[in-house]
Chain A
Amino acid sequence: MNQDVHKLLRLKRYEMPSSDYFERFMDEFHRRQRAELISRPTLSILFERFMNAFPEFHVPRMAYATVAAAAVALSALILFNQQESGASSSGSFALNSPTVTTLPSAQGDVRFPVSLRSDLPPHYVLETRPVSYESPYSF
């Protein structure tokens, strides 16, 4: 039975285009080759020449996954470092810079330093007498 199928399929070799098809085919092949030279991007030609020059070169199987994982890890590291440096710089500003109060003004906000010494607790002057937040020791 398999032999019958084989005989039947062999008849398909008679399905062929007309005889002048293969003569036209060569002309069409040359025309397409010329057209391809004009239309192909240079990068694509260079890449193909590289691959042809090194036919044994193959991209390793896990290369894309490894590169993607490395990129994610690098991004995470950069973000983490940025956050950490931002936090530490804002902390040092709070500790070292003098206290500033803001007063409303018609021409915008004007800042007046009340104390330039950072080693003293903040204090103010009210009616020529210094005022402090520290609790008084006199009862």
Chain B
Amino acid sequence: MAETAQEPEINDEDLVARTQNGDPRAFDDLVRKYSSRLYGLVYNMTSNHEDTNDLLQDIFAKAYRSIKGFRGKSSFYTWLHTIATNMTINFLKKRSRSYKMSLDDIDNGVQHDPEFIELTSGPDARREVNLKELQVRLNEAMMKLSNEHRAVVTMFDIQGMPHAEIGKILGISEGTVRSRLFYAHRQLQNYLQEFLTT
């Protein structure tokens, strides 16, 4: 279920060392490597494309400015995700409640996803699912969670991170990650009842 935390083809340590020695192209490689993944993290916490774009720029700018202070006590992946999560939560605390959702298009690949097929055409499918409606309802349900619970759900359910990694990023124990997930799932069940099979 959980994806591996680091992709082996590019060595983060090497790229970080080169950036620390003044090679900005090495940092570009890190941006290329992590921008898509961090986009998913920030977008699923904000439900707004424009906010995500601005935040992602700020996150990489902050990481670039701070990379000299990175001593490798954790992996670069964890360090970068910690910056991203903290900045996003701080942003959400300041954002007004009257924000508008600005959702990205759903990739066509979803039509071939076994989980989506099971959800929409299985024998116990409750109803025919309108993809756009499902997207809106999922985002509304996510936004009803607290920022901290949404962060855990995003990292675990959407991005497939293991509990231990989430704990490191948020600076909490694995037990706290599990209890937040349990509570968040229970809330989401209520919001998404009509899309869930019995």
A28 CA / B58 CA spacing, docked (Å) = 11
A18, chain B: closest CB distance, angstroms: 7
Does B43 lie within 8 Å of A15, measured CB to CB? yes
Q: Residue B158 contacts which of A9, A17, A53 (CB distance < 8 angstroms)?
A: A9
Contact indicator A29/B113 (Cβ below 8 Å): no
Contact A11 B115 (CB under 8 A): yes
**A contacts with B: majority SS:** helix
Residues in A with CB closer than 8 Å to B135 are 12, 15
Tally of chain A residues near chain B (CB < 8 A): 30
How many chain B residues sit at the interface, stated as a range, is: 35 or more
Task: Give which listed residue, A10, A15, A32, A53, contacts B115 with CB less than 8 A.
Answer: A10
Residue B100 CB within 8 A of the other chain: no
Q: Which residues of B contact A1 (CB under 8 A)?
A: 189, 196
Q: List 5 A–B pairs whose Cβ atoms lie within 8 Å, in order of A's numbering.
A: A9-B153, A12-B139, A14-B106, A14-B107, A17-B105
Across chains A and B, which 4 residue pairs bring their CB atoms closest together, nearest first?
Answer: A55-B69, A9-B157, A14-B110, A14-B107
Q: Is A4 an interface residue (CB 8 A)?
A: yes
In the complex formed, the residue of A with least CB distance to B118 is: A7
Q: How far, in angstroms, from A13 to B40 measured CA to CA in the complex?
A: 7
Chain A nearest CB from B145 CB (Å) reads 11
Interchain nearest-CB distance for B88 vs A (Å): 16
A52 to B160, CA, bound (A): 32
Residue B196 contacts which of A5, A33, A55 (CB distance < 8 angstroms)?
A5
Among A4, A8, A33, A48, find the residue whose CB has the most chain B CB atoms closer than 10 A.
A8
A29 with B57, Cβ < 8 A, contacts A9-B138, A11-B138 known: yes
| A9 to B155 Cα, complex, angstroms | 11
- Does B44 sit within 8 A of A, measured CB to CB? yes
* Closest residue of B by beta carbon distance from A32: B57
For B145-179 the 0/1 string (1 means CB < 8 A from A) is: 00000000100011110000000000000000000
| A32-B61, A53-B68 given; A14·B113 CB < 8 A | yes
Tell me the complex Cα distance, A29–B153, Å.
28
A22 to B106, alpha carbons, bound, how many Å? 16
Residue in chain A with minimal CB distance to B69: A55
Provide the bound-state CA to CA distance between A17 and B106, in Å.
8
B2-34: CB near A (< 8 Å → 1, else 0) gives 000000000000000000000000001001100
Q: Are B188 and A15 in contact (CB under 8 A)?
A: no
Bound Cα distance from A2 to B1, whole angstroms: 14
CB distance from B56 to the nearest CB of A (A): 7
Whether A51 sits at the interface, judged by CB under 8 Å, is yes
Among the listed B43, B53, B118, B185, which residue makes an inter-chain contact with A5, where contact means beta carbons less than 8 Å apart?
Answer: B185
Whether A25 pairs with B158 at a CB distance below 8 angstroms is no
**Which chain A residues (50-74) contact chain B, with CB distance < 8 Å?**
51-53, 55
| B124–chain A nearest beta-carbon distance, Å | 10
A26 within 8 Å of B (CB atoms): yes
- CB of B36 within 8 A of chain A? yes
